[in-house]
Amino acid sequence: MKIAIGCDHIVTDIKIKAAEFLKKQGHEVIDVGTYDFIRTHYPIYGRKVGKLVATGEADLGVCICGTGIGINNAAQKVKGVRAACVADVQTAVAAKENLNANVIGCGGRVIGIGSIEYILEAFLKAEYKPTPEKDALIAKIDGLIDDNDCIENDALFDEYLKKWEEGYYHD
């Protein structure tokens, strides 16, 4: 399977370990960054993962930040993405079986790489169990973002990145 993975600077080490784990399981991994511990902006990487999944360039996505909340919210804003931010195996499996989630996310600071490995393995093994009701609910969720709501602007974060380069942020 082709899996896109992204993170913010808080959990780059954990993202690298998660990517290695996925590769060992035989998956092809597209690491969209960030690649170091320099302060950055997690919506950039959530959006990158989401776009790869929504366009079919990746089969599934993995989004990790400190809590998992920020980066998965960003991925969720890409039309076609159904992201689940989870902290346990049961919820990860339910996300695939019931929602056909195509992005799984975790808080690297909250649960650590051990739990993340179990979660990824279970999520990848689980399969969507379709019913007419689930199909209808998923169609409704997907329909909440229409084509006109989706910002197709890859320069979206340029202004903020420029400000970082200029030393505008001090934390």
Total of chain residues touching ligand RB5, rule CB under 6 A? 8
Bridge partners of residue 7, in order along the sequence: 64
Our finding on whether 53 is near ligand RB5 (CB under 6 A) is no
Our finding on whether 69 is near ligand RB5 (CB under 6 A) is yes
Residue 5 contacts residue 50 (beta carbons within 8 Å): no
Our finding on whether 70 is near ligand RB5 (CB under 6 A) is yes
- Stretch of 12-20, 66-74, 90-98, 137-145 contacting ligand RB5, by CB under 6 A: 66-74
Per-residue x/- marks for ligand RB5, 28-47, CB under 6 A?
--------------x-----
Residue 43's closest CA among 84, 76, 71?
71
Note if 85 is an active site residue. no
Least distance from ligand RB5 to the Cβ atom of residue 160, Å: 13
The answer for residues whose C-beta is within 8 angstroms of residue 163's C-beta and 6 or more apart is 169
Least distance from ligand RB5 to the Cβ atom of residue 57, Å: 25
First to last CA, the chain: 38
How far is CA 49 from its chain centroid? 6
Least distance from ligand RB5 to the Cβ atom of residue 80, Å: 22
CB of 54 or CB of 106, closer to ligand RB5: 106
Residue 34's closest CA among 45, 22, 23, 26?
45
Our finding on whether 8 is near ligand RB5 (CB under 6 A) is yes
Residue 95's closest CA among 113, 71, 74, 72?
72
Q: Tell me which residues are annotated as active site.
A: 65
Binding site for ligand RB5 (CB under 6 A): 8, 10, 42, 65-67, 69-70
